[in-house]
A and B are shown apart, each in its own frame.
Chain A
Amino acid sequence: MEKRVTFQGWLLPLCLITPQVVISAVFFFYPAAQAVWQSLYLPDPFGLSSRFVGMGNFEYLLSDPYYRTAIGTTAVFSGLVTLVSMVPALFLAVLADRLIKGAGTYRTLLIWPYAVAPAVAGVLWLFMFNTRIGVVAWYLGQLGYDWNHVLNGAEAMGLVVVASSWGRISYNFLFFFAALQAVPRSVIEAAAIDGARFWRRFFTIVLPLLSPTTFFLLVVNVVYAFFETFGVIHTITSGGPQQATTILVYKVYADGFVGQDLGSSSAQSVILLIIVGLLTVLQFKVIEKRVHY
């Protein structure tokens, strides 16, 4: 889509666009190019010179058992976060949609956690499950369950999944609620006249009508789990125990800044770059569908 009416001149528009182009070039394109460039080189241990290794860093990475584990961990983590953040959100949205009065109040109350930063959410959940003083951990202990996410990898994973999903429930709730409100009443009432009960109507009519929103949220939540949960993992587990919660983004940080392994970290950045690209394309396809629905 283009404007038919435009203004004359080329100097003014170039000036207007310059700030964004300069900032993008300096803080975006140059670093991105650097990442691609460094991923092809292997620096010596003292950082004085580097040697061209082509695909060497990538081959090394993909055969590295730690990296492979991190790929698996990321898949499990993002799958669980997507599930744990979407199912309760849908449930709450369905409930809120049934209310004529009060739905707005509940919405206001449920929006809160979205505003809480992932890193702060991490501290809140760490506080509840802290092995020494955490309230929830203590009550679990009273029930005979010995909670220790510092040693137990599965418990650590569970904790970062719940802490990451918590704020996301608000986000998903907003989108599901808006979509549910847009479902035509007449369709629902027609089904009700035909004798379909609530859950029958939900699974055969409402859920299919929600599918564009559901697909959209699936992609958005996977992107979130991949890239925006660093704060949760860094505050709660720092990737441990035994790398049980080291997702790909955390590993870029751990290898690049803590381990100072620039070649490997850059190669990891490039792999993530490709994943983001694919997810973005997917997102646009999904949104196109949503618009044409």
Chain B
Amino acid sequence: MTARAETSARRSDPAPGMVEKRGSALWLTHVAMILGVLVVFFPIWLAFVASTVSQPEIARPPMPLLPGDRFLENYQKALFSGVNVPVAVMLFNSLVMATGIAVGKIVISILSAFAIVYFRFPARSLFFWLIFLTLMLPVEVRIVPTYEVVARFGMLNTYGGLIFPLIASATATFLFRQFFLTIPDELAEAARVDGAGPMRFFWDIVLPMSRTNIAALFVILFIYGWNQYLWPLLVTTDPAMNTIVMGLKQMFPSGDDIADWPVIMATSILAMIPPVIVVISMQKLFIRGLVDSEK
């Protein structure tokens, strides 16, 4: 297969550069690349295998390296009974949290970026710098006081408590600001001449033009929200509010009991499926969002 890929590569390349490797070198590159992919993939493969075998097969090492026949059984057990709480419940909580963070952050950011770019109003630059400052501080650094605020609002074990503290950051605002600055002035001019108000301009011109940016941000923020660990660990003491990423660790027994590995590994596979689907299916947007948000 590699040999055929190689010949077709040579044929389809109109003017093969003189530094492109051919023959054995190209073949070796493919082998090394496949080895690299296998090594990187191994932990996921092993987790998948473990989620399809029975507990005794894992408890007597070495465990098999090929999938067993307990796929349905283990996943059913994980989804509908779990250890502390059915995994289906945790999946739902994660979905609400990740979507809430992505949508919430995009909405508040696009509005404030629009205000900052398209208006001159009192204290505008003060607000800009206040928002900009929040770029700097991850939630990990201010956990104790943020926890106290959330507790005082009675938002422990609520979706609000999970979502709001994590959307208080300016990355998205900054991104939208950069993008709005590249929208030609003529468009705003034309809108004004035609007598369209600022909100009309926002709905009819700015929002449609930002579609790709919004989608790319959504991908990045969804994964960010889904993969949160420390914050849900603090805020959700009620198992029914656990998210799947933090609930996974709660499935390990304390003390010397043997962990229910097949169910735990089934849960970890379930925990990675949604973000992996998002990344793979929206690869182009994802890479764009990644590169943009780090600029």
CB <8 Å contact, B149 and A230: no
A 1-31 binary contact with B (CB < 8 Å = 1; else 0): 1011111011011101101110110111111
In chain A, what residue has the closest Cβ to B104? A23
A113 and B45 CA atoms in complex are apart in Å by: 12
Inter-chain contacts of A80 with B (CB < 8 A)? none
**A111: min CB distance to chain B, Å:** 6
**Given the complex, which residues of B lie within 8 Å of A24, measured CB to CB?**
130-131, 134, 168, 170
A189 within 8 A of B: yes
Q: Chain B, 179-193, contact with A by CB distance < 8 Å: what is the 0/1 string?
A: 011000100110010
Interface size class of B (residues with CB under 8 A): 35 or more
Question: Are A1 and B181 touching (Cβ within 8 A)?
Answer: yes
A117 CB within 8 Å of chain B: yes
Option from B13, B20, B144, B290 in Cβ contact (under 8 Å) with A269: B144
Known: A17-B115, A121-B43, A277-B136. A115 touches B17 (CB 8 A): no
Hey, which chain A residues are within 8 Å of B9, CB to CB?
99-101
When chains A and B are docked, how far (Å) is the Cα of A26 from the Cα of B268?
34
Instruction: Report the Cα distance A126→B29, complex, angstroms.
Output: 31
- Within 8 Å by CB of B111, from A17, A34, A102, A235, lies A17
Q: Which of A12, A20, A91, A175 sits near B119, CB closer than 8 Å? A: A12
A: interface residue count bin:
35 or more
Residue from B20, B46, B58, B185 within 8 A of A124 (CB atoms) = B46
Q: State whether the Cβ of B279 lies closer than 8 Å to any Cβ in chain A.
A: yes
Contacts of B114 in A (CB 8 A): 16
Quick check: is B116 within 8 A (CB to CB) of the other chain?
yes
B116-155: which residues lie under 8 A (CB-CB) from chain A?
116-122, 124, 127, 130-131, 134-138, 140-150
Say yes or no: is A169 at the interface (Cβ < 8 Å to chain B).
yes
Give chain B's interface secondary structure class.
helix
Chain A 43-67 interface mask (CB, 8 Å, partner B; 1/0)? 0000000000000000000000000
A17-B18 in contact (CB<8A): no
Contact indicator B43/A119 (Cβ below 8 Å): no
**Is B272 part of the contact surface with A, judged by Cβ < 8 Å?**
yes
Binds B, one of A69-77, A134-142, A150-158: A134-142
Please, which residues of chain B bring their CB within 8 A of the CB of A116? 44, 227, 272, 275-276
A32→B169 CA distance, assembly (Å) = 13
Out of B33, B119, B279, which one reaches A95, CB within 8 Å? B33
Q: Which residues of A contact B40 (CB under 8 A)?
A: 109-110, 112-113, 166, 169-170
Q: Verify B290–A174 contact, CB threshold 8 A.
A: yes
Chain A residue nearest to B172 (CB atoms) is A20
Contact indicator B119/A6 (Cβ below 8 Å): yes
Contacts of B287 in A (CB 8 A): 174, 178
- Which positions in A face B, CB cutoff 8 Å? 1, 3-7, 9-10, 12-14, 16-17, 19-21, 23-24, 26-32, 34-35, 38, 88, 91-92, 95-96, 98-102, 106-125, 127-128, 132-135, 138-139, 166, 169-171, 174-175, 178, 185, 188-189, 192-193, 198, 201, 216, 220, 227-228, 230-231, 234-235, 249, 252-253, 256-257, 262, 265-266, 269, 272-273, 276-277, 280, 287
* 9 extra interface residue pairs, beta carbon distance < 8 Å, beyond A21-B127, A249-B141: A23-B168, A28-B134, A99-B33, A100-B20, A101-B9, A185-B19, A262-B144, A266-B145, A272-B140
Return the 7 tightest CB-CB contacts between A and B, nearest first.
A117-B227, A34-B145, A231-B229, A31-B145, A13-B119, A13-B115, A115-B275
